[in-house]
């Protein structure tokens, strides 16, 4: 998805098929993840803004889902949004991030999840860099694992 209207269409009509599926019980996820990563990814939690050093990390690499290690974001799409969460302008592929309408907490937003394991990642908004399609993927650092390249 490269533009907001595409994100909204997919959130309302259905996401592309994922490249694979990973399914585990809550007990299995809890054994694999830190308590904070479990809370964020498996119970749709949100970490405190500015609570992770990952916000300031701009070294080359790939950001993987902390649960299933699916490559989600490339560091080349990462930018400083000033929001307190790692922000990206695009997912690595159209079928690795799923989009869902989210009207919780009296707001209208689009939730992002890992399409492979359904981990809650964060939300996507239409206020990202214009030259990159205008999307801002606001992602919880607790949902990501950084893999360095080079």
Query: Could you list the active site residues?
Result: 138
| Nearest of 22, 54, 78, 18 to residue 143 by alpha carbon | 54
Q: Please answer whether residues 133 and 2 qualify as being in contact, where contact means their C-beta atoms are separated by less than 8 angstroms.
A: yes
Number of H helices, E strands in the chain: 3, 9
Q: Angle at Cα 39 formed by Cα 38 and Cα 44, nearest 5°?
A: 115
């Amino acid at each position: 998805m490269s533009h907001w209207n595409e994100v909204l269409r997919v959130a309302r009509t259905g996401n592309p098929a994922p490249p694979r599926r990973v399914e585990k019980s809550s007990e299995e996820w809890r054994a694999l993840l830190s308590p904070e990563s479990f809370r964020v990814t498996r119970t749709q939690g949100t970490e405190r803004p500015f609570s992770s050093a990952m916000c300031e990390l701009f070294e080359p690499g790939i950001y993987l889902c902390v649960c299933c290690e699916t490559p989600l974001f490339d560091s080349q799409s990462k930018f400083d949004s000033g929001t307190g969460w790692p922000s990206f302008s695009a997912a690595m592929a159209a079928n690795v991030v799923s989009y869902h309408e989210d009207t919780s907490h009296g707001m209208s937003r689009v939730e992002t999840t890992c399409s492979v394991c359904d981990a809650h990642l964060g939300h996507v908004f239409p206020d990202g860099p214009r030259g990159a399609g205008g999307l801002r993927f606001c992602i919880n650092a607790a949902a990501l694992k950084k893999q360095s390249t080079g």
